[in-house]
Structure formats: structure tokens, C-alpha cells
Structure 1
Amino acid sequence: MKRTVFRGGTVYDPASRTAGSADIAVEDGWIVDVGSGLEGDEEVDCTGRGVLPGLIDCHVHLTMTGSDVFESVQQPFSLQFYEGAVNMAKTLAAGVTTVRDAAGADLGMRVAQERGLVPGPRMQVSLNMLSQTGGHGDPWWPSTCVVDLLPPHPGRPPVIVDGPEEIRRKIRELVRAGADVIKVATSGGVVSSGAGPKIPHFRDDEIAMMVTEASAAGRHVMAHAHGEGAKAAVRNGVRSIEHGHFLDDETLAMMAERGTWLVPTLSAGVGLRRALEAGVPFPDHIAEKIRERAGGSVRRAAEAGVRIAMGTDAPLLPHGENLLELELLVEQGLSPADALHAATLSAAELMGVAEMLGSLTPGKRADLVVVDGDPLDVQDLGNRIVAVYQDGRAVHVAPPRR
């Protein structure tokens, strides 16, 4: 069995949130030793470079490309899966070796990656997003036409539901179709025809049913949620709040007490504002929601003791630019080490995979990212990636920097 040693790098340790010089020994895709002076059959020279655990993005949409809703719905149905393969490769090249797809990717995409048919990050998939009638995921528009970014197919069931019993059956359908996690919108959103983020969706008995049925199947619930919709989601036991604008002190205190995660997706706001400035033809009411910048939740959440995991909502910021999220988290008050923790061990804990991923420790899978310079400097980190390894195998090597 071949033993490879990654030698002499500055290794980021999420447990201590520090970085120091160390060698990492890998055998058969697993980390077997971390220390100094390790021996191996071959080595990767990491001198003068940083070594990070494979990064984790807890909120992506791999079958979506771009933020122009009306352009997207004019494309052939199956094109999304070919674009998805390209987006998977871009994500992997960005140092993101694991993702949680928050609606779009189906079981076949996850299996294709697992079998090595398509290069890309490891995946947990939600398939689609539960929405009430008239909610954030309802594709009906006031003109009575349907603008559906996630049209149903056998691997992605339709998800407009009302009432606990409809929800019970729908979650069972999603689990049958291969969902690893259940996604729901408990509030309105920005890029949809309906209510804005401050309007709550679903009642307590409906959200409680989601959590009960998901738990019975060994799944968690992730909630697109803002404001009062987030409070209801936390009150009824969801595992994570996605986006999380307009969170008041009571909601943050509940999240800290109950261990509810926040996945802020700060990149989404940056991407939408860029698209608006570039002339993407959003309807006036959506453009107004984009302009209504809602900041402060991340800083206040961290101060309240809420656990934070990294997510980007790509492609609102394009796939492959995922690591900008780290810079945005630092702008919101996290230290660089804490931002990296959000993208490694915290993200792994949220997704329930911390026994295998999230840190460079013996017994875990050998997902590593080699970067130029100090690994604790997240500024422009995406452009400093030298190589990405998955199970100890190089899956991306960047061209030499000029």
C-alpha cells in the first residue's frame, strides 16, 4: 500500500483554530499520521505553502447557472445536468471538496460523483424545496404563467404542499427519491414572485411535521428563512437557518440555546447586486428586494454564540468563486481562523460528517487543499489554490501563477 507524505506545509487545525508546520501521511485515501519527520513512499513538497482540510459549502445549487431567472427557464430541460457537471468541476477546483445541494441536484448526480463518472465535490442532496402555495418556491406568477427554476421530474418530486398530512407524504416521497436532507422555505425570499423575506410561511404544526418526519427517516431539515419565518423554524426544531436576514435577539438566543446553525450565504447578496448593476432584467419588485440590504445578522449571531457554517448560494455568485464567502464572513466580524472553521469542522458537524471530514487528523478522509502563503489569510484565497486532493488523489492542479 503506497504511503504519501505531504511534507513541510503550514497546516490549519480547526480544533485549535491555529496553523503550524507539520507533515501529513496518507494511505489508501485516508490520513494515517500527522507530525514531523514522517516517512513515505512518495512525497508532496508543501514547503512555504498552507494546507487546509477540504473546504465545505453547505448551500449550493449545482444545476443552476447564473442569476437571470428568465434566461434560465428558456433552456432545454436536460441542459441543467450538463451544466451541473461543469459547476461541480468548478466547485472542486475552488477547493470545495464537499457540498450540500440546497435544491436542484438529484440522486443520480450524487451517485455519478461517488462512482467517479463526474469530478466534483462529495454531495448531500435535498432535491427540491418544500413551499406553501404562494410561497418562495411556488413557480406561479401573477400573469398566471409558471416560471419554474426546478421543474419536477422522477428524481425531483414537486413540492408545493399545504397542511401537515400533505407534508408527511411529501417528505416520504423526497426520502424515497434519495434526499439526504429536507429543504423548506419558512419565509418569502428575494428572487421570487411572491412575498419578501419578512413574510413567514407555514404554521407551527406544518414545520413540526417536517421535523418529525425527517427525523423518523434519519434526516435533518434546513430552512430558507428570514425574520419571523426563521423564528418559527427554530421554535419547531429545524437544524439550520439558511440566509437568515432580519433575525431579532429572541431568535438568536433561541438558536444559541438549541444549537441551531446559521448558514449566512453572504455571497448571494453580493452576486445579486452585481447582477443588478450588470443589467440583468429583474422585475421592479425583485430589484427592490435586492437593493434592500439586510446586514448585521452574522455579527450579532456570532456574538450571541450561534454556530455558523459556510454556505454561498452559488450560482447567485458564480460557481468557483465560493471562497469569497470567507472574506465576507471576516468583514462581518469573524476572525480568519473562525471563518475557516465555518468552512471545515463546523460545516462537517452541521452535515453530520465530522467523523470523516472537516479536519486533517488521523482516521479521516484525505481531502486537502494546498494554497500559496499563509493558510490563515483568507484574502483572495480562491486565487491562491495550488492543488486540491480528494481521498489523497490530486483532482485539480492550478497552472503556475505568473
Structure 2
Amino acid sequence: MTIAIHCGQLIDGSGAGPIRNATIVIEGDTITAVNPGGEIPRGAEVIDASGLTVMPGMIDCHVHLMSTPRSLQDRLLIPHSLAVAEALTNARTTLEAGFTSVRDAGGTPRGVKMAIDRGLFPGPRMRIAVAALSQTGGHGDSTMPSGVNVRVTDPERPLSVADGVEGVRRATREILRAGADQVKVMTSGGVMSPNDEPGATGFTPEEIAAIVYEAHAAGKTVMSHAQATGGIKNAVLGGIESIEHGIYLDDEVIGEMIRRGTFLVATLVAPAWVIRRAEADPAAVPPYALRKSREVKVAGALVGTVRTEMDGSRGANPGISGRPGSSAGSAFRKSSVTIPLIIIRDRDWAEPRRPRTRCRSGQTRWRARR
């Protein structure tokens, strides 16, 4: 079947200016032509969007569709099957918000992705990390000061707290076995973890080297939760492809990232989202997490100034758990006097250029997938 979308104006995601009165021609799931003059093939099913602006589906490089901060009571009362149902609802909401591809940074099992891929539920294309590797006491270790571990049991998510070269090697292989498209490693402390600070460094260079080796041997990439300067530096020098958050970047690390082509996924709205979550449900966000969120919100605002210096080596995202926060992400960038067309290009164009994704999404052009 041939489908022709007649556009009032088309933003193709390349950064070029809008094209007025264009027609997009689709055969199956592939764009076969973009006709600037509005020519419609004979026999095509026409979708009249002549009064609208048409653009590619957006790509969110950092989501957690199944990881919503919850109170301890909710963690105990919500069964795994209900959490999966909520993740599928979040996936549908994400798609309806205009995000057709997402990069899930941990917590979402392979079954959610499979259900979407098989057409059982609506949702975006997904690349999943399944679980995030953490050192003992690091960001990802759910052991509380009482000694009680509040990690919710998930039969599809391997245990991911590991130490030592052989320990992290085995944990990486188990995460890959569980269906990870990329491996996530916590090379610094974080906001929600009870036993560390965002400025703390996680994992040794030798441990990082073992994780990267195992991921690359399986043809996968590695993403690093890295807020601390030392954690960012270790991740970049260790060959990790993307830095998530990057709160305490410095000039030396930025220069090394540019030289190596390392991506920055800045999650600019994440701290503000945690603060709003705490205001709405104080039991879901512990006081220590609220304090750390306020601290990194101030420091993280400086990360936005790095975007233009790093040019294409970045991925766009709100960086929010559970339901999508795309409107918050756009509002943040507009408040920073970012040109709207650059906002669109950032959201559509950076992730397909990420190494090894083999992605044909993000631009309205010949051979792109719908």
C-alpha cells in the first residue's frame, strides 16, 4: 500500500529550513520519496495534513519506562506484573507524545520491548539496558543504612551489584544474556542511591575495561551514569560511548570527549523532575535524594552550555523515569534561548549518528523508517 502525507510544511530533521507544500510517500514501513512540490502518486491513500506541520518522530536517548520512584510501601504492594503493565502504559504515552524511538537506561525488561516489537502493545522502538552495573555501595546498590536491601525482585533483571574484574565480567555477561542492547555502568554516585554522593567515583579503570570488553565483544555499546568528574574521565578513557548526566564536566574531559567522539546525554530536566516528584509524593523521594537533586540541579544547569561546543556529540532527552517529560525538556531548552529548529534537530538527529545503532530513524528522507 502506498501512503501519501500532504504537509502544510515539513521539517525533515536535518536542520534545514521547513519545506512548504511537500508530500511524503511511504511504501510499507519505508519512506520512498519526499516531493517538495506536493505531487501525489496515483492510487495512493492520502493523509491530508495540509494545515499542519509534519516532522519525524523524536528520539529520547535516556528514559526509564519501568523505573518510577516509589515509597517503600508501594514497592512492597505492587506486583511485578502490575509494574510491567505500567511500563507498557508509559511506552504508549511516550509514543503519543511524539517519541518513536527511545533508549531505556535501565529497569525495563526484555519482555516489554518484545511486546512492542510484536505489535501486542503500541510503543516506540526501544534499545534497553535491562539493569545497571553498580559497585557495592554505589549508585545502584539498594542496601539501606539499616542493612535491608529494598531492591524489588524481578525475574527478568539479573543482580547487577558486582566488584572486581571477574565479578563485573560475569555480571556484564548476565545482563547481555537478559537481552540488553547496551550495557549501563555506574561510574559515579548519584541522587537516588542511599550510600554515595554524586561527586563520588565508581568502579576502577580495570573494572571498566572488563565491562567494555565484554560489551564490545558482543557487539554492544556501553553507556555510563557519570556525574562526578573522575567517573566521567574514567568512562571516557575506558572507551565508553556515552556519558549520561555529565554534571561535573570540566574542560579537560570535554576536550577528550570531543577527540574521541563520546556522546553526552545531559538529562537536563531530571533533577527538577525528582524535586517535583518529591513535592507531589514526599514518601517516594527520601530526604537525602531531594537534597542531592537540588545540588545537582544547580551544577547541571552549566552542562547546557556545553551542547554547542560538542556539536553533534550529544543526544537529546529529558532524562525522566516513568511517564515521558518531553514537554519539560522542550521548555527547558526554550528558556535557555535555544533556537526551536535546533531543538527539533537535537531530538531527531543525534541518536541515529551514535556508533553502532544502525538506525534509519530521525529524519524524513528517502529510506527512513516510519
TM-score by length of 2: 0.92
Cα drift, residue 69 of structure 1: 4.3
Alpha carbons 1:9, 1:23 under 8 Å: kept: no
Of the candidates 336, 339, 342, which is equivalent to residue 343 of structure 2?
A: 339
Of the candidates 253, 258, 262, which is equivalent to residue 251 of structure 1?
A: 253
**Residue type matched to 1:241 in 2?**
I
**Residue type matched to 1:47 in 2?**
S
In the other structure, the counterpart of 2:366 is: 362
Cα drift, residue 325 of structure 1: 1.3
In the other structure, the counterpart of 1:15 is: 14
Of the candidates 279, 286, 307, which is equivalent to residue 283 of structure 1?
A: 286
**Residue type matched to 1:89 in 2?**
R
**Residue type matched to 2:250 in 1?**
D
**Which one has a larger percent helix, Structure 1 or Structure 2?**
2
**Which digits, 9 at most, give the CA deviation of each residue in 1:372-399, with x for residues without a partner?**
xxxxxxxxxxxxxxxxxxxxxxxxxxxx
In the other structure, the counterpart of 1:137 is: 140
**Residue type matched to 1:5 in 2?**
A
Q: C-alpha separation between the residues in 1 aligned to 2:73 and 2:369?
A: 40
Of the candidates 306, 310, 313, which is equivalent to residue 307 of structure 1?
A: 313
Cα drift, residue 354 of structure 1: 5.5
**Residue-pair matches, total:** 360
Distance 1:314 1:355, change over 3 A: closer
Distance 1:71 1:343, change over 3 A: farther
Of the candidates 284, 298, 308, which is equivalent to residue 304 of structure 2?
A: 298
Distance 1:90 1:199, change over 3 A: same
**Residue type matched to 1:10 in 2?**
Q
Map 1:42-81 → 2, pairs under 5 A: 42-65=45-68, 67-74=69-76, 75-81=78-84
**Residue type matched to 1:96 in 2?**
F
In the other structure, the counterpart of 1:24 is: 24
Cα drift, residue 305 of structure 1: 4.1
Map 1:2-401 → 2, pairs under 5 A: 2-21=1-20, 22-35=22-35, 36-40=37-41, 41-65=44-68, 67-74=69-76, 75-148=78-151, 151-153=153-155, 155-227=156-228, 228-278=230-280, 280-281=282-283, 282-292=285-295, 293=297, 294=299, 295-305=301-311, 307-315=313-321, 319-332=323-336, 334-350=338-354, 352-353=356-357, 355-366=359-370
**Greater relative contact order, per chain length (Cα 8 Å cut-off, separation 6+):** 1
Distance 1:255 1:218, change over 3 A: same
Q: C-alpha separation between the residues in 2 aligned to 1:7 and 1:278?
A: 43
Distance 1:279 1:113, change over 3 A: closer
Q: C-alpha separation between the residues in 2 aligned to 1:69 and 1:207?
A: 32
Distance 1:329 1:262, change over 3 A: farther
**Which digits, 9 at most, give the CA deviation of each residue in 1:147-181, with x for residues without a partner?**
225x342x211101111111222212211221110
In the other structure, the counterpart of 1:394 is: none
Q: C-alpha separation between the residues in 2 aligned to 1:250 and 1:301?
A: 16
Q: C-alpha separation between the residues in 1 aligned to 2:339 and 2:30?
A: 29
**Residue type matched to 1:303 in 2?**
E
**Residue type matched to 2:147 in 1?**
T
Alpha carbons 2:106, 2:132 under 8 Å: kept: yes
Cα drift, residue 362 of structure 1: 1.0
Cα drift, residue 301 of structure 1: 4.1
Alpha carbons 2:268, 2:304 under 8 Å: kept: no
Cα drift, residue 72 of structure 1: 4.2
**Which digits, 9 at most, give the CA deviation of each residue in 1:95-122, with x for residues without a partner?**
1111111111122111111110111111
SS in structure 1 at match of 2:126? strand
Alpha carbons 2:134, 2:162 under 8 Å: kept: yes
SS in structure 2 at match of 1:171? helix
Distance 1:247 1:71, change over 3 A: farther
SS in structure 1 at match of 2:55? strand
Matched-pair identity in %: 36
Cα drift, residue 24 of structure 1: 0.4
Q: C-alpha separation between the residues in 2 aligned to 1:117 and 1:364?
A: 23
RMSD of the TM alignment (CA)? 1.9
Q: C-alpha separation between the residues in 1 aligned to 2:312 and 2:256?
A: 9
Q: C-alpha separation between the residues in 2 aligned to 1:304 and 1:176?
A: 34
Q: C-alpha separation between the residues in 1 aligned to 2:358 and 2:14?
A: 12
Distance 1:203 1:278, change over 3 A: same
Q: C-alpha separation between the residues in 2 aligned to 1:30 and 1:267?
A: 33
SS in structure 1 at match of 2:103? strand
Structure 1 residue runs of 5 or longer lacking an equivalent are 367-402
**Which digits, 9 at most, give the CA deviation of each residue in 1:126-147, with x for residues without a partner?**
1100000000000101011112
SS in structure 2 at match of 1:179? coil
In the other structure, the counterpart of 1:400 is: none
TM-score by length of 1: 0.85
Q: C-alpha separation between the residues in 1 aligned to 2:278 and 2:114?
A: 36
Alpha carbons 2:271, 2:293 under 8 Å: kept: yes
Q: C-alpha separation between the residues in 1 aligned to 2:150 and 2:342?
A: 39
Cα drift, residue 255 of structure 1: 1.0
Q: C-alpha separation between the residues in 2 aligned to 1:330 and 1:353?
A: 28
